A and B are shown apart, each in its own frame.
Chain A
Amino acid sequence: MIVANRKPFEEIIEMLKPYTRILLLGCNECVTVCATGGTKEVAVLASEIRLFRQKEGRPVEIKEFTLERNCDPEYVDALKPFINDYDVVMSMACGCGIQFVGEHYRNKIVLPAVNTTFDGVTEKHGVWTERCQGCGDCVLDKTLGVCPVTRCAKSIFNGPCGGSRDGKCEIDKETPCAWQLIVDRYKEMDMLYKYLEIQPVKDWSTSRDGGPRKRMREDLTI
């Protein structure tokens, strides 16, 4: 899932300064699961904004609305009947959703209430960690399921570097060294011989380095 963090309140309130009628949008997908921008978080932020503005003597009217998804046109269309009743849209969806809603309603400014941060998993309730950077050429077969691009701070392919200590990465004592995890995995599967295979230089053109990416399935495009 896409994991996001809510922006600091001061930043949010500063963005909303010129406006009094606000459409606060949530999304029922990833940002709901990572407890950043679902119906509940929309309600909490709306309440916080109302309290602040009430205190300032500049009350706001906020419509709280959560779309099924913000990244699919059929759901985004649901805003049509009322979006123009509001001065501005603030979205708690990920960066994709924020942009997509803006693309569909070009007379509206869509402000981000969250910082979209990573693609990750729920390690346990309330804890999310990063797993994939969408490099476009997956090597999880070679590393038995541990991503060196994402989980190694240096994204090295023939690790570890000299900073690996007691299984932890040199960036901090809490972060496991990806290459320790990979070697542990080789051992676990009795495949330590794989560690001897030297990985060639990665072609990053399939990743962000090659510019924005596009996927198309011809048979679905009618």
Chain B
Amino acid sequence: MRLSYPTNVKIMKVPCTGRVDIIHILKAFESGADGVYLAGCLEGDCHYLVGNMRAKKRVEYVKQILDECGIGGNRVAMYTMSAAEGQRFAEVAHEMTEKIREIGPNPAKLQGSRGQANITRTLEPLRCVKE
């Protein structure tokens, strides 16, 4: 499958969405991300049993935080898909990019910050999987 997805989507690989903590998502916004979504396994299919369920709850929590501080909870989302669904992966990437484009840029973005480069550096400790 040679599917394409928007180039502005920066992927951070993690062993399980359960690895993603609230602070990781917030750090991405601090580093200039306009939106963040987690792509986890289908519910009931987690190799670590409930990693994706934890991630889902954390995303809900982050939504509240982002609403409170005026960044907007609608900038985060949780999607689930199976590892075999490349098509869905690409669809979700398009869907999320469109949604964020409509919402507009992250209002806390530093002037002149180079979003993606910063995000990669900030979230480096999270990267447990060699690309």
Q: Which residues of A contact B (CB under 8 A)?
A: 9-10, 13, 40, 43-44, 47-52, 54-55
Contacts and interface: CB of A to CB of B under 8 A. Distances in A.
B70 A47 contact: no
Given A54-B108, A54-B110, A55-B107, A48 B23 contact: no
Contacts, number: 45
B27 A47 contact: yes
A49 B30 CA distance: 10
B122 to A, nearest CB: 11
B18 to A, nearest CB: 14
Interface residues of B, number: 17
B71 A51 contact: yes
Interface in B86-115: 107-110
Given A40-B21, A44-B65, A55 B26 contact: no
Contact of B68 (A40, A43, A48, A54): A48
A55 B71 contact: yes
Given A54-B108, A55-B108, A48 B26 contact: yes
Nearest to B68: A9
B69 interface: yes
18 contacts: A9-B65, A9-B69, A40-B21, A40-B23, A44-B22, A44-B23, A47-B26, A47-B29, A47-B30, A48-B26, A48-B65, A48-B68, A50-B30, A51-B29, A51-B70, A51-B108, A52-B70, A54-B110
Nearest to A40: B23
A9 B73 CA distance: 15
A47 B22 CA distance: 10
A44 B62 CA distance: 10
B23 A51 contact: no
B99 to A, nearest CB: 20
Q: Which 10 pairs from chain A and chain B are nearest by CB?
A: A47-B26, A54-B108, A52-B69, A9-B68, A55-B108, A55-B107, A51-B108, A43-B23, A48-B69, A51-B69
Contacts of B70: 51-52, 55
Interface string B11-31: 000000000011100110110
A150 B69 CA distance: 36
A50 B71 CA distance: 11
B30 A51 contact: yes
A54 B106 CA distance: 10
Contacts of B29: 47, 51
Contacts of B21: 40
A49 B23 CA distance: 13
Contacts of A51: 26, 29-30, 66, 69-71, 108
B104 to A, nearest CB: 13
Contacts of A44: 22-23, 26, 65
